Amino acid sequence: MSIIESSKKPFSFRGKSLEELKTLDVREFAKYLKSRQRRMALRQFQEIENFVSRIKKKTEKGKAVRTHKRGLIIVPQMVGVKIQIYNGKEFVPVDIAKEMIGYRLGEFAPTRTKVKHSSAGVGATKGSKAKSKK
């Protein structure tokens, strides 16, 4: 056994393995979340359950799951699924990993991008005006 293999510990979320978490329903899973996520999951449990059932139907057919619901809490039943999340302009493809449990969908589809400034266009400065007359 090498050092790398021994340092890799199995995934657990608040002391529970992923298989144990997948057996829980949304309200039971909410007990393991932090307070803000727990309150939101308990308020939206029906919406989360409907979304999970929609995911199962779409993945059976081989279709991509698209959603505008950026505020949904990621539950263990979503792990391993590809979801396209709307960021206000386009659908951003996201692979749900086990480390994302408890976060919101919108956290993985940023709405703002870094501004990429380039050189000034023609007519933007006096120097470019002089060049364009030639």
- What pLDDT is attached to residue 61? 87
Average per-residue pLDDT for the chain: 87
Residue 129 in this model has a pLDDT that exceeds 60 = no
Please give, one letter per residue, the 3-state secondary structure of the chain: CCHHHHHCCCCCECCECHHHHHHCCHHHHHHHCCHHHHHHHHHCHHHHHHHHHHHHHHHHHCCCEEECCCCCECCHHHCCCEEEEECCCCEEEEECCHHHCCCEHHHHCCCCCCCCCCCCCCCCCHHHHHHHHC
This prediction has a pTM of 0.79
Task: Identify the CATH number of the domain defined by range 11-111.
Answer: 3.30.860.10
Query: pLDDT tens digits for 36-63?
Result: 999 999 999 999 999 999 999 998 888 8
Predicted confidence at residue 118, as pLDDT, reads 82
